[in-house]
A and B are shown apart, each in its own frame.
Chain A
Amino acid sequence: MRKPVSLIAGAAILGLALAGCSGGGDTPSDSGGANEVEVFTWWSSGSEKVGLDALVKVFNEQYPDIEFINASVAGGAGSNAKAALASRLEAGDPPDTFQAHAGAELTDYIEAGQLQDLSSFFDDEGFTEVFPESLIQLLTVDDAIYSVPSNIHRANVVWVNTGILENAGIDPKKAPADIDAWISDLEKVKASGVEGPLALGTEWTQMQLFETVLLADLGADGYTGLWTGDTSWDSDGVTTAIDHYSTLLDFVNSDYTGLDWDAATQILIDGQAAYNVMGDWAEAAFAQAGLTYDNEYTTWPVPGTEGIFDFLADSFTLPVGAPHEEPAKDWLRTVGSADGQQAFNLAKGSIPARTDIDAADYPPYQQTAIKAYADDVIVSSLAHGAAASIAWSGDISSAVGRFGSDKDVAALQSALVDAAQKALG
């Protein structure tokens, strides 16, 4: 009787050992060595990859004896990377530093106690002085700062095809004063024979258009209040914005739900639409198409948002239990340094978060963005994780996506109210 039991036990152990092999992780951070830093991003292709490479080059010059380990995970807007990151954090195996959208998207990690407070690091490095005051405020959660921004993008930009507007008898250089004026321009363009004068794309680009309309109708303070609970989602201002947004949807291309942002921008480049609301990464598409700024195309802030900078930023964090904390801090120093920001942003097409840079080094569109960033009121973008937590913006995204098919103003507003109630408690 003894023998079979031990046999079975042995087999069970064998099975467990096999199971262990398939379940255990071979993680890059196990490779040992104190002078290395594992950097987790979703920048694995395109201008983002070029930007990361430029940043790594500066890092290697500043800290030649630290080895850079690239742990980037490919995939749309970081959703694959976020899933991979969550499982690593869950398993207590964080990378030394990871990329995240600055702002509210970090709250989940902060509440789970997965990020280190970088406030004193900010003071030591003098970052508090070189980053604008309003940005520091937006980065601060409960009196602490948890990430170092590497770049700044602007979301409330209208890209304008000047040729089409001139055809319709509108001065393309002069932005309409508010959304109503813009809608009457859109009508003129439509009358001149352009079927969908406002190019639009999939769910998140609809959300970005919607947030800029909210910004235009509520103003910077009213809009920011939406995220803190000071502005109520069932107010008349929000209703007006939803009505405006609904009217704007009458002027878009019919296939918008199926297009990613670059396909929507391409409609404008191809001369089949007059306007497109998109972040300033669209600049690269125009440059690649060989168009020149202020000639074939131009930009202005979304009508009604003059003097407001709807910001989003990528940033780097210091996770709790990072295996190589000192090298990780060196990486954050490079990210925040003037040289690092310069190299990264020239390559990625964004603008530096620091204000002590020379705008003359940048192409013409970025110069306008740098000026606006220094002078304007800065607010957080919803569509890019700066304004609301991941779950909240997910709920809003779904409600906006639904509105795209049923155009039910009351249903959208009540969904927005519910989402805010759930998120703010």
Chain B
Amino acid sequence: MRKGVRNWGPPLLLVSPTIVILGIFVYGLIGANVSVSLSDRHSLSPAESFVGLDNYFSLFAEERFQHSLYNLGIFTLFFLVGTMLFGFLWAWMLDKGVSAEGVFRSVYLFPMAISFIASGVVWRWLLNSAEGDRASGLNRIFESLGLGFLQNPWWNDPTWGMAAIALPAIWQLAGYVMALFLSGFRGIPDELREAARMDGASEWKLYRHVVFPQLSPVALSALVIIGHMSLKVFDLIMAITKSIYQTEVPATYMWVALTSNDYAKAATIATVLLLFVAVLIIPYLIHTSRSEKAQR
């Protein structure tokens, strides 16, 4: 008995402050948030009663929230496809061997060092929607290059506008995905490639059957990381457009609800966002823990 305590006592003592703090400030607050989302606290006055899932039903029935989900969907689609595509292409090209690889690596990775808020300020100007005489940013560049037909209203477009907001996000994170893929490429032992070549595999077959399968865990991690960043996008939109209807996503809508004192609605949106991220993250965690067990 004594011996057992000696074994697990000190480690437990060491981690217990973290457990307590996590318990209160992460899980406790998540619980508090969920309980507000189940109440009728729509103003500064205290909640009067428990309303169950009413807030959730009315939120999903709301045209404005559906619009914010639509925006988020468009953004996520372009952001995911863009970062994965560019990240993979760059990593692949670097893997094929270029001179001055270090320079390219830094150039591609560099945007990640800048915060969304800071780059958002610049992109706010680049994505200015004025055309013709008053054009600035990208529209001005197109105009002066004689590519005037490429000018467009960017994020002011009601349907595809959110794709324009995805541009800075892709610019910022494609380099990170490249780094992930590059480490994946580098993690594949040369012996495997040699062996495949010895067996007479063409370069395409080598990639198709030897390299790509080994990259799938990397691709999955990249998808999860980019995907959860996409779902909670907030700072980029606040920096580029502020909280307006055209570019509203659930996170900025939550901010609007909170600052107009509708606590129950803000808490409901927060819970919905948490669930979205959980839907993405939890299967991933299960998958990784299973594959780790399998490796043991």
B1-31 at interface with A (beta carbon < 8 Å): 1, 5, 9, 12-13, 16-21, 24-25
- Chain B proximity mask over A68-92: 1 for CB below 8 Å, otherwise 0: 0000000010010011001001100
| Residue from A8, A19, A76, A404 within 8 A of B242 (CB atoms) | A76
- Cα distance, A12 to B13, chains bound together (Å): 9
Chain A residues with CB under 8 A of B258: 83
Chain B residues with CB under 8 A of A267: 134
On whether the beta carbons of A404 and B246 are closer than 8 Å, the reply is: yes
A402 within 8 A of B: yes
| Residue from B5, B21, B242, B244 within 8 A of A18 (CB atoms) | B21
A1-B1, A15-B19, A258-B156 known; A111-B129 Cβ under 8 A: no
Chain B residues with CB under 8 A of A111: 43-45
On whether the beta carbons of B9 and A254 are closer than 8 Å, the reply is: no
- Chain A proximity mask over B235-272: 1 for CB below 8 Å, otherwise 0: 00000011011101000000010111110000000000
On whether the beta carbons of B156 and A255 are closer than 8 Å, the reply is: yes
- Cα distance, A391 to B45, chains bound together (Å): 14
The 4 closest A-B pairs by CB, nearest first: A15-B20, A401-B245, A112-B44, A255-B130
A7-B13, A253-B130, A272-B134 known; A398-B156 Cβ under 8 A: no
A284 within 8 A of B: no
Most B C-beta atoms less than 10 A away, residue of A255, A401, A406:
A255
- Cα distance, A15 to B13, chains bound together (Å): 10
A339-370 at interface with B (beta carbon < 8 Å): none
On whether the beta carbons of A394 and B260 are closer than 8 Å, the reply is: yes
Chain B residues with CB under 8 A of A397: 245
Q: List 14 A-B contacts (CB under 8 A).
A: A7-B13, A8-B12, A12-B20, A15-B19, A18-B17, A19-B25, A108-B261, A111-B44, A195-B133, A255-B130, A255-B153, A255-B156, A257-B246, A402-B67
B143 within 8 A of A: no
Additional pairs, 5, CB under 8 Å, beyond known A111-B45, A401-B246: A11-B13, A15-B16, A23-B24, A76-B242, A86-B261
Most B C-beta atoms less than 10 A away, residue of A1, A254, A272, A406:
A254
Chain B residues with CB under 8 A of A76: 242
- Cα distance, A291 to B127, chains bound together (Å): 31
- Cα distance, A390 to B43, chains bound together (Å): 10
| Residue from B17, B124, B259 within 8 A of A82 (CB atoms) | B259
In the complex, the chain A residue whose C-beta lies closest to that of B125 is: A258
A114 within 8 A of B: yes
**What's the minimum C-beta distance from A423 to chain B, rounded to whole angstroms?**
11
- Chain B proximity mask over A216-250: 1 for CB below 8 Å, otherwise 0: 00000000000000000000000000000000000
On whether the beta carbons of B133 and A272 are closer than 8 Å, the reply is: yes
In the complex, the chain A residue whose C-beta lies closest to that of B10 is: A7
**What's the minimum C-beta distance from A293 to chain B, rounded to whole angstroms?**
26
On whether the beta carbons of B156 and A16 are closer than 8 Å, the reply is: no
B55 within 8 A of A: no
List residues of chain B with CB under 8 Å of any chain A CB.
1, 5, 9, 12-13, 16-21, 24-25, 42-45, 64, 67, 124, 127-134, 153, 155-156, 158, 241-242, 244-246, 248, 256, 258-262
A28 within 8 A of B: no
**What's the minimum C-beta distance from A417 to chain B, rounded to whole angstroms?**
14
Most B C-beta atoms less than 10 A away, residue of A114, A272, A391:
A391
Chain A residues with CB under 8 A of B16: 8, 11-12, 14-15
* A-B contact number at CB 8 A: 119
Question: Chain A at the B interface: mostly helix, strand, loop or mixed?
Answer: helix
A4 within 8 A of B: yes
Chain A residues with CB under 8 A of B262: 391
In the complex, the chain B residue whose C-beta lies closest to that of A1 is: B1
**What's the minimum C-beta distance from B39 to chain A, rounded to whole angstroms?**
14
In the complex, the chain A residue whose C-beta lies closest to that of B21 is: A19
On whether the beta carbons of A254 and B131 are closer than 8 Å, the reply is: yes
In the complex, the chain B residue whose C-beta lies closest to that of A418 is: B63
**What's the minimum C-beta distance from A90 to chain B, rounded to whole angstroms?**
8
- Cα distance, A7 to B153, chains bound together (Å): 64
A370-417 at interface with B (beta carbon < 8 Å): 390-391, 394, 397-398, 401-402, 404-406
Chain B residues with CB under 8 A of A4: 5, 9
**What's the minimum C-beta distance from B120 to chain A, rounded to whole angstroms?**
12
Chain A residues with CB under 8 A of B261: 86, 108, 390-391
Most B C-beta atoms less than 10 A away, residue of A8, A11, A195, A406:
A11
In the complex, the chain A residue whose C-beta lies closest to that of B132 is: A195
In the complex, the chain B residue whose C-beta lies closest to that of A422 is: B42
- Cα distance, A12 to B24, chains bound together (Å): 12
**What's the minimum C-beta distance from B148 to chain A, rounded to whole angstroms?**
14
On whether the beta carbons of A257 and B44 are closer than 8 Å, the reply is: no
- Cα distance, A103 to B259, chains bound together (Å): 17
| Residue from B17, B45, B67, B129 within 8 A of A258 (CB atoms) | B129
A14-B17, A15-B20, A202-B242 known; A3-B5 Cβ under 8 A: yes
In the complex, the chain A residue whose C-beta lies closest to that of B240 is: A258
- Cα distance, A254 to B262, chains bound together (Å): 33
In the complex, the chain B residue whose C-beta lies closest to that of A393 is: B260
**What's the minimum C-beta distance from A10 to chain B, rounded to whole angstroms?**
8
- Cα distance, A66 to B245, chains bound together (Å): 45
Chain B residues with CB under 8 A of A254: 129-131, 153
- Cα distance, A3 to B131, chains bound together (Å): 75
- Chain B proximity mask over A92-113: 1 for CB below 8 Å, otherwise 0: 0000000000000000110111
A108-B43, A258-B124 known; A402-B245 Cβ under 8 A: yes
A203 within 8 A of B: yes
**What's the minimum C-beta distance from B57 to chain A, rounded to whole angstroms?**
16
On whether the beta carbons of A108 and B44 are closer than 8 Å, the reply is: yes
In the complex, the chain A residue whose C-beta lies closest to that of B17 is: A15
Most B C-beta atoms less than 10 A away, residue of A8, A18, A394:
A394
